Amino acid sequence: MSLSFDTTYKDLDSNLYSRVTPEDINNPEILLLNEDLCDGLGLNKEDLNSQILSGQKLLEEPIAQAYAGHQFGSYTVLGDGRAMILGEHVHDGNRYDIQLKGSGRTPYSGRGDGNATVSSMLREYIYSYAMQNLGIKTSRSLAVIETDGSVQRRRTEPGAILVRVMRSHIRYGTFQYVASQASEELEEFTDYVIDRHYPHLNNKDKKYTDFFDEVMRSSINMVVDWMRVGFIHGVMNTDNMSIDGETFDYGPCTFMNYYDEDAVFSSVDKRGRYSFGNQKPILKWNLGRFAESLKQLFQESSHAFDELEAKLDNFEEIFDAKYYSMMRKKLGIKSDGEEAIVDAFLDWLRESRADYTNTFIELETPGSFDDPVYSSEDFKHIRNELSGIGLDRKMMKKTNPRYIPRNYLIEEALNEYLEKENLSKFKDLLNVLKNPYESKDANSQFQQPPSEKFDSEYTTYCNT
């Protein structure tokens, strides 16, 4: 089948979106099409030509969403400046936003051109592809379309459009916008979101409190999963936090190589606000802003809002329980508790700055890597301590990836396309990341971290 749209967001107050038209493109070209995602959405790839995927042939009028957000702690009114939702595709009772990213200006573009470079759209494609296969809830990339224009960012590149798929693009920042700009619509909007994402709450006596709790727990699950694989989002602004716990907006994101809780690779994060180790406290801070946006729902009863704040007070306990459970699985520990050995292992990681991904493979199968850090007495001691209570190989293989998108390999693949219009390296990476928990070659090049010098100099960009 082709795309089947039933866009319910248009039934909401018109202040929440603008009707838009994608930029004209003479010769759009499909660079990548995610055939597995086509199957998952019930789509026939033969029906998805470049005219439909680039928004040149419209099935209905697209919209750009309005929202707000705290960006690096400062509140700003925002909106889709270079994105448009073509429609909500319905398949097997499930609803998905089909969004174009890089499709031209919208009323929220400000001084931006609404376009995107081919390298930034290829980057988002591979990151979302990897996250999906790593078992992390994420937006999906259906296709990358190269346009006929050029885009100037740090360098001039061909333009491109990403076709992004999500359960919805509703964010913490959408609630912030409704609460501040269209407050009379807050109850109706919240009911809409509950119907769409958490319908089991509709018959609950305290559905708004329970809604906040569910959003908090889904977000905790998401961030704990990020930390499981060493992912650094890079821009955890409230407008980049999904109400459904989906990872999205892969801008200056990266995967950590050498363990460092202060690791930051984003060019715009000058103070380390969104470092790897700061993702937990930032999530709690963001949830506090989300809670504030819901306050008007409890005007008739301050006691009810106290109950919502009590839910947020449980954040630390819930997060830590999820985190330690995750770390026990990474270390192959079947029993509960054992926080002391987990903490001792983390202390060793901080001190050694060993490669985060490879260390768990080495614990599981000694001799996998020729790295002096794994010959140290401290590592032998920590592995010996773990051998008495953990190192269950079956559990570890399910939890610890063999492969992540290594930063330098992605850069090599992107540069090969920009310089030679060749996607061979990019497709090789996709092939490896299709099954990231299965080893393909012993000591594979895809398992090798970059030099420490590369890591210390590596910088990622928003590309807006």
Q: What is the pLDDT of residues 369-414, one digit of tens each?
A: 999 999 999 999 999 999 999 999 999 999 999 999 999 999 999 9
Q: Report pLDDT digits (tens) over 209-264.
A: 999 999 999 999 999 999 999 999 999 999 999 999 999 999 899 999 999 999 99
Over 70: is that where the pLDDT of 442 sits? Answer: no
Query: Are 83 and 211 members of one domain?
Result: no
Query: 445 falls in which pLDDT band (50, 70, 90)?
Result: confident
Residue 84 inside a domain? The answer is yes
pLDDT score, position 140: 98
Tell me: pLDDT of 91 over 80: yes
Residue 54 lies in a domain: yes
Evaluate whether residue 332 is within a structural domain: no
Same domain, 92 and 231: no
Q: Please tell me whether residues 110 and 36 are part of one structural domain.
A: yes
Please count the structural domains in the chain: 3
Domain that holds residue 88: 8-166
Among 32, 164, 180, smallest CA distance to 99 is for 164
Q: Which of 113, 146, 166 is at the close of a domain?
A: 166
In this predicted structure, what is the pLDDT of residue 77? 96
**239 catalytic per annotation:** yes
205 contacts: CB under 8 Å, gap ≥ 6: none
Are 131 and 29 within one domain? yes
- Is 331 within a domain? no
297 and 357: one domain?
no
Same structural domain, 144 and 198: no
Are 113 and 213 within one domain? no
Say whether both 160 and 191 belong to one domain. Answer: no
Shared-domain flag, residues 161 and 184: no
190 shares a domain with 138? no
* Spatial separation of the C-alpha atoms in residues 245 and 293, rounded to whole Å: 18
Residue 2: inside a domain, yes or no? no
Last residue of a domain, one of 147, 166, 185: 166
pLDDT at 464 > cutoff 70:
no
- Same-domain status, 70 and 121: yes
Mean pLDDT in residue range 14-22: 97
pLDDT at 337: 86
Residue 352 lies in a domain: yes
Query: Pick the catalytic residue: 239, 249, 269, 355?
Result: 239
* Domain end marker among 274, 293, 324: 324
Phi, psi (degrees; rounded to nearest 5) at 134: -80, -5
Residues in contact with 411: Cβ distance below 8 Å, sequence separation at least 6, in sequence order: none
